[in-house]
Amino acid sequence: MEKERKLIIAGNWKMNKTVAEALDLVRGLKLELANVKEVDLVVCPPFTALCEVSKVILDSNLRLGAQNMNEHPGGAYTGEIAAFMLKEFSVRYVILGHSERRTYYGETDALVARKAQAAHAAAIKPIICVGETLEEREQGRTEAVLERQVRGSLAGLTKEQMLETIIAYEPVWAIGTGRNATPEQAQEAHAFIRRLLAELYDEGVARRVRIQYGGSVKPSNARELMSLPDVDGALVGGASLEVRSFSDIVKNSI
């Protein structure tokens, strides 16, 4: 299957794994996925495992991502992590505005946009998450919500920065529920987001930016979801916590 955009599959480990467990997982992935060249592969361990994981994946095709980042360059922000600290471990990607951060920690589109600026300033590629709740979908507000989130979270990004940004469409009702979006729902939302990018930037940017799908991606649905014309990868939660399921998702997507 040849696609215009290279697939990018990222594992969002969320608040799971000790350092020892993280190393077991990443060593297994390194072996299982050693020959994969067709897909950009990213693992996003918790902050506490970044240092050790970075050493193990140094000579591999796995890249490192963080799950969050502070918007300030550094200073008196107790409990927070700045971009320069992530750079120390060769972090290349950072997930921003995940629905769990929006819901539990009150992150707004404006904050996500500031974090995206800070990430780009450090040459870290943001993976910006957007997605509607079940209630919003049932009320027919999916496109309005996506438009608000995309416009707000990308605010101020230059064309060059946009080309180094990844968007993850994650319908909130599909996250951790076992209930993935149907191929039609996913394709429709992705195509909508791509049209927005054409409006906000231009057709060339819209054609090049990768849009991941996230929400109950598993080995059994990866092939169908990844083959959709506007789906360019996956952001995987639960199924990224085991070597078998994450590597099967990758292999089934090629």
Nearer to ligand PGA, 81 or 235 (CB): 235
Site membership for ligand PGA, residue 94 (CB under 6 A): no
Site membership for ligand PGA, residue 45 (CB under 6 A): no
* Locus of tokens 């070597």: 243
* Residue 98 among the catalytic residues: yes
Active-site choice (120, 136, 170, 190): 170
Residue 201, Cβ neighbours under 10 Å: how many? Answer: 18
The answer for 62, left when phi > 0, alpha when psi is -120 to 50, beta otherwise, is beta
Nearest to 236 by CA among 145, 153, 129: 129
Q: Which of 40, 170, 230, 232 binds ligand PGA (CB under 6 A)?
A: 170
Determine the Cα–Cα distance for residues 178 and 212; give it in Å rounded to an integer: 18
User: Which whole-number Å values give the CA distances from 225 to 87, 128, 237, in the listed order?
Assistant: 32, 19, 15
Q: How far is the CB of 75 from ligand PGA (least distance, A)?
A: 30
Pairing of strands 7-12, 39-44: parallel
* Residue 170 among the catalytic residues: yes
Site membership for ligand PGA, residue 253 (CB under 6 A): no
The answer for 167, left when phi > 0, alpha when psi is -120 to 50, beta otherwise, is beta
Ranges within 95-114 binding ligand PGA (CB under 6 A): none
Q: How far is the CB of 100 from ligand PGA (least distance, A)?
A: 7
Q: Which of 12, 68, 149, 247 binds ligand PGA (CB under 6 A)?
A: 12
Nearer to ligand PGA, 206 or 253 (CB): 253
CA–centroid distance for 200 within its chain: 21
Q: How far is the CB of 160 from ligand PGA (least distance, A)?
A: 27
Query: CA angle, 23 as apex, 17 and 27 as ends, to 5°?
Result: 130
Q: Which of 216, 245, 247, 253 binds ligand PGA (CB under 6 A)?
A: 216
Active-site positions read 98, 170
Residue numbers at the binding site for ligand PGA (CB under 6 A): 12, 170, 175-176, 214-217, 235-239
